[in-house]
Amino acid sequence: MPNKNAPREPAAAITRRDFLKAAGTSAIALALGGSLATGADSAAPTRKPNIVLILADDLGYAELGIQGCKDIPTPNIDSIAANGVRFTDGYVSCPVCSPTRAGLLTGRYQQRFGHEFNPGPPTKPQPNFGLPFTETTIAQRLKALGYVTGIFGKWHLGFEPKYQPQKWGFDEFFGFLGGAHHYLSTTEDPNNPILRSTKTIESIDYTTDAFAREAASFIERHHDKPFFLYLSFNAVHAPLESTQKYLDRFGSIKDEKRRKFAAMNSAMDDAVGRVLTKLREKKLEENTLVFFVSDNGGPTKQTTSGNAPLRGFKGQVLEGGIRVPFMMQWKGRIPSGMTCADPVISLDVLPTALTAAGGRVNADMKLDGVDLMPFVTGKKKGAPHDRLFWRFGQQWAVRMGDWKLETNGSHAPALYMLDQDIGETTDLAATNPAKVSQLQKAYDAWNAQLAEPRWGRAGAAQP
């Protein structure tokens, strides 16, 4: 059921359940862009869809207009939800940056291959840091299907040449390899330069603008063939830096930290708008599957990014660390203005994109994600997942239905009923021992399948 405490939906929004209940077979066909025509028109071949994956960095659950934010307009990002589906219970597989990316790009719980922690800075990374070569990325899988592939922005999956994006299926790379970067300079951290492929870029205006500009150029240059575009912002990760152009939009915000955060968030929204506009200019909008996700919850103290009404922050397996803005658009295929309260996870991006591209998901891939399209279009009933898991060092959690069992390692597992208590305020473990036992056994069975971390936790702050 929809979360009672979730951000209020726009008046025009419909839930997935309402859509499936109200729509008959022919109505569904029309809503999904189907045609009642017969003959040559219905048999006309269509090009494989483009895939655009947009990843925000450290964006809090409550920092978009569509998520309830009042002081920072985000019309472009909001439009992805308005034109498609917003998952109110969308998760990532880790509450910090690098492990989330490892899971996102492989479609597998990253703990299965030891990618459990962030690596530390490029000057002194943890030994063995990088995706292991047992894994296959979404870029590699789509490239095998004839896609041209590009990444623009933050990588954070390996510093050594053998681990860089070009080794993982990306034809083009413009960005940086570390976990964070200054927005206005390429020289502040000489160990973490902005690169075009392997060549260092000497100057930059503003990383958010530059990554969007490069992404739009990628679309312009490859609009006549199917492409996979991974736009991986460093916004709105610290340090808080902005150009005056964006700061001027928020003169009414007196708190200097909040004003800079607002400027950075607004710049990211403009950047997303630039990419969406380019898709429209090239008449690609109805043949492009677009995802927007954040890599983890917001670190409120450091940046002001808020996660309300959730409890917790980046680095925690409380909802505020792992539940994130998560939306998906495919005009003509996904009904517009939908909200879905079923739990989904960023691991679902790969199988959803791969299946949309005409690829096949089979058991040999050992994916943990699922194709979301049949669930949002009504071809499959029920929820995509009956359980989701997290492990981050001593912290762990499991969600089954609306029940969640969670611990930070220093207390006995706490039990919450999320549809009634989205803020995880009331521990129900003492009055529901059978439910605690059920979730504990599910977690233990999953945990037994995982690998040991390939490197240790790099500092308590987990940047």
Spatial separation of the C-alpha atoms in residues 390 and 368, rounded to whole Å? 12
Distance from the first to the final alpha carbon of the chain: 35
Rounded distance between C-alpha atoms, residue 321 and residue 94, angstroms? 8
Q: Decide if 411 is catalytic.
A: no
Cα–chain center distance at 133: 23
Is residue 340 annotated as a catalytic residue, yes or no? no
The one catalytic residue in 69, 115, 156, 385 is 156
Q: Buried b vs exposed e over 212-233: b needs ≥16 C-beta within 10 Å?
A: bbbbbebbeebeeebbbbbbbb
Pairing of strands 326-329, 50-56: unpaired
Beta strands per DSSP E along 265-387: 288-294, 326-329, 338-340, 344-345
Count other C-beta atoms under 10 Å from residue 342's C-beta: 20
Which residues, including other chains, have CB under 8 Å from residue 266's CB and lie 6 or more apart? 72, 73, 74, 246, 249, 250
Q: How many CB atoms lie within 10 A of CB 134?
A: 9
Facing residues of 227 across strands? 148
Spatial distance between the Cα atoms of 181 and 174, rounded to a whole number of angstroms:
13
The single residue of 97, 115, 237, 385 carrying the catalytic annotation is: 97
Bridge partners (DSSP) of residue 391 are 396
Closest CA to 421 of 443, 408, 396, 402: 402
Contact 290, 330 (CB under 8 A): yes
Per DSSP, the residues of 217-252 read HHHHHHTTS-EEEEEE--TTSSS----HHHHGGGTT
Catalytic sites, residue numbers: 97, 156
